[in-house]
Amino acid sequence: MNKVYITGSSIISALGNNKNDSVKKIQEINDNNYSEYLVNNFEELKYYRIKKNFVSKEEKFYSILKEVALKAIEDAKLSKEEAEDLHIFLGSTSMSISIEEEQHLKYKNGDSTEEIKNIGYGEIGHFVENLINSKYNTTIIQTACTSSANAICYANDLIKSKKIKRALVLGFEFFNETTYRGFQSLMLLSQTGEYKPFDINSDGLILGEACSAVILESQKKEANNFEILSTNNSFDNYSVTSSNPNGEVTLSCMEEALNKANLTIDKITCLKAHATGSENSNLSEAIAIDKLFKKYNKKTDVVILKPYIGHTLGACGTNEIVLLCESIKNNFLPKTINFYDKYNDIDFSPLQETRKIDKATILFHYIGFGGSNTSIILSNES
């Protein structure tokens, strides 16, 4: 079996238009200036936006996708031939709905004779294939908020089993009315406009847009490249839009990832929680993590990133991996901002002070509508 490493990455989000700016911004944000950061992000809606201007949603979509993909390839120092050998994996919830909404509006206003631009999402795959002159067809994964995390899992399995040599995994989510109004109709959006993950006073989630990419290869290139030690999936049939309050499926998913990596919780530097901010999901995951710590009588730092970039849905897998791994490479573990009061009977609190660190073994966990749970363990300690 091959080993698998993240040899390159890139991201554009509300934090900034590249990795360096994003990591710098994470270090600057704290509880005192968090409200100011939100004001700079929010316009007419409470939403974490990418700060780039484009003529159209279509231009925005493909320009950012192109920039992120090419920067990740550059970061991995791939030759032209190696880039052409990349297998492409896409993970997103909304895919290109923003473009379809724009096209429908043009049709409705009489500015176009076409009501729908494309049926299905193959066009996105073709765009990336042509961009890097890839030899292979794109794999598209849509499993709600675990989409890009599961894209990493699948690409990892194929590289480990020597079926492919290397992969480009892209996670992306762009603002669209369909998604925003859908979450609004479910009454899951925060009314106060403040993200309070795992806080008993949380009143909902705040959505965000971002695009990120990782390059996966079987050869380590830099001393601080993160290796994928294990991945695991579990599915909860409790509800389409909420998690079982007992947290058992989430717990079993994390436990199995630890077992596959032959690790115990005390060997994990930190646990990156999903922590959407919605009442049911928040409490269910907090219970699962609390059970994990109590079962093994061990704790580790819990890190939450959504207050920095919002809930980026299907893209949060790659987004949060890139941000956390880059933070560690820059010698710090990010604090959780805007957390004050934990749930009753929960014995842990998220990390609230930045911790100096340059090596780590991280358990990432993600949860999606439809009961999807995904755990990924990464390490740059070996």
pLDDT band at 48; cut points 50, 70, 90 = very high
pLDDT of 314: 98
Is a pLDDT exceeding 80 seen at residue 304? yes
CA distance 132 to 83: 6
CA distance 35 to 209: 19
pLDDT band at 185; cut points 50, 70, 90 = very high
In the chain, where do the E strands start and end? 5-12, 87-91, 139-141, 166-173, 210-217, 226-235, 270-272, 301-303, 332-333, 355-356, 361-368, 372-379
Average pLDDT over residues 111-132: 88
**CATH code of 115's domain:** 3.40.47.10
Which residues partner with 83 through β-bridges?
Answer: none
Is a pLDDT exceeding 80 seen at residue 56? yes
Q: In the block, which residue shows the tokens 């724009």?
A: 102
Average pLDDT over residues 74-95: 98
pTM above 0.85, yes or no: yes
DSSP conformational letter for 314: G
Q: pLDDT over 70 for what percent of the chain?
A: 100
Is a pLDDT exceeding 80 seen at residue 118? no
From 284, 287, 274, select the one nearest 368 (Cα to Cα). 274
pLDDT band at 279; cut points 50, 70, 90 = confident
CA distance 179 to 181: 6
Which secondary-structure segment (H or E) carries 42? none
305-360 residue pLDDT tens? 999 999 999 999 999 999 999 999 999 999 999 999 999 999 999 999 999 999 99
143-178 residue pLDDT tens? 999 999 999 999 999 999 999 999 999 999 999 999
pLDDT of 47: 97
225-234 residue pLDDT tens? 999 999 999 9
Domain span at residue 248 reads 5-379
Is a pLDDT exceeding 90 seen at residue 43? no
Average pLDDT over residues 274-283: 87
Q: How many domains does the chain have?
A: 1
